[in-house]
Amino acid sequence: MRRLFLPPVALWLALLVAAPLALLLVLALSWQSEGLPPFDPPWNGQGLDTDNLALILGDPYYRAAFRQSLELAGITATLCLLLALPMALAIARARRSRLLLGLVLLPLWTGFLLRVGAWIGLLRDEGWINGLLRGLGLIEQPVALLYTPLALYLGMVHAYLPFAVLPLYAAFARMDPSLEEAAADLGAGPTRAFLTVTLPLVLPGALAGFLLVFIPAAGEYVVPELLGPPGALPLGRALFIEFFQNRDWPVAAALACALLALLLLPILLFQRLGNRE
């Protein structure tokens, strides 16, 4: 039975994973041109153009974009994990856990741009937050909330928090409650029991949640573009500029290939830790 499913799965992976990655790598090694499409492939007689990869590794502009993307993804994943840990624990221990889990997933059923647009309405100078602060007499002039790092991380955490809650909820739901009861019987307090018993058992779920947020957040474009500071240049913005404004498809493909290679490191590390366990 297993052999019957292997060929369709292999064909699916080849068409939707391997082929796009191969095309992306070929585009990264192509030459920029003024035609349509704006690149010359390596087999046109000019050979491979490795200057694109050298450019993104040596230019401070692109190194800053990589640094900002990793910083944005790391902070977003950490904040999501800190919020998801008590949320997942409370949902797993609640009587109506499925209802609460559905409420956590409810934002994913709406359009992504609509959720970002809602934050724009909340954070703008004439928005609800500034209106509430003025109504309470806390401020006289509107506070600049939109297009700030605060707005950026609020939008990022709101967008990716469910991806951190799901694996942690699964880890808490699989855990045997008698282990915590045994720790309490042996004299461990709630904090010590959580740190020595609960947290090690849910650590794989926490790592999975961190990666589920970190990987897509590293290439995020919409939230930084609509909510972030104008001077911020994460990799998603740099890719957009190279592809649509500069029309330098080979450099944009080289940036995407470098990001994929960089994101493979935490994935391989997570798999190695999982195999060791």
Whether 271 maps to a domain, the answer reads yes
pLDDT attached to residue 29:
86
Residue 79 has pLDDT above 90, yes or no: yes
Helix axes 249-276, 199-218, angle to 10 degrees: 170
What is the per-residue pLDDT across 227-260, written as a single tens digit (0 to 9) for each? 989 888 898 898 898 888 888 888 889 999 888 8
Bridge partners of 31, per DSSP, are 40
User: Taking residues 99-110, what's their average pLDDT?
Assistant: 87
Q: What is the pLDDT of residue 69?
A: 93
Q: What is the mean pLDDT of residues 142-162?
A: 92
| Mean pLDDT on 183-191 | 70
Mean pLDDT of 5-9: 80
Q: Most confidently modeled of 52-61, 108-117, 221-230?
A: 221-230
14 is a domain residue = no
The boundaries of the domain holding residue 163 are 64-275
Let me know if residue 40 belongs to a domain.
Answer: no
Q: Which 3 state secondary structure label does DSSP give 6?
A: helix
Q: Which residue would you say has higher pLDDT here, 116 or 52?
A: 116
25 lies in some domain:
no
Maximum CA extent, the chain: 76
Mean of the pLDDT values across residues 96-110?
86
Please count the structural domains in the chain.
Answer: 1
Q: What distances in angstroms separate CA 128 from CA 4, 118, 143, 148, 253, one per listed residue? A: 57, 10, 12, 17, 41
Give dist(CA 250, CA 39) in Å, integer. 7
Say what the pLDDT of residue 81 is: 94
Q: Report the chain's mean pLDDT, rounded to a whole number.
A: 85
State the average pLDDT over residues 46-50: 75
- Average of pLDDT values for 166-173? 90
Distance CA 30, CA 23 (A): 10
**Angstrom distance (rounded) from CA 254 to CA 24:** 8
Answer whether residue 52 is part of any domain: no
Whether residue 180 lies inside any domain: the answer is: yes
Residue 76 has a pLDDT of 96
For residue 34, is it within any domain? no
pLDDT, position 204: 86
Residue 73 lies in a domain: yes
CATH of the domain at 213: 1.10.3720.10
Instruction: Tell me the pLDDT tens digit for each residue of 195-211.
Output: 777 777 888 889 889 99
Choice among 32-41, 116-125, 167-176, 240-249 with the minimum mean pLDDT:
32-41
What pLDDT is stored for residue 169 in this prediction?
92
pLDDT at 26: 87
The 3-state DSSP class for residue 65 equals: helix
pLDDT-above-70 percentage for the chain: 95
Distance separating alpha carbons of residues 220 and 159, to the nearest angstrom: 11
Distance between start and end Cα atoms, the chain? 29
The model's pTM: 0.87
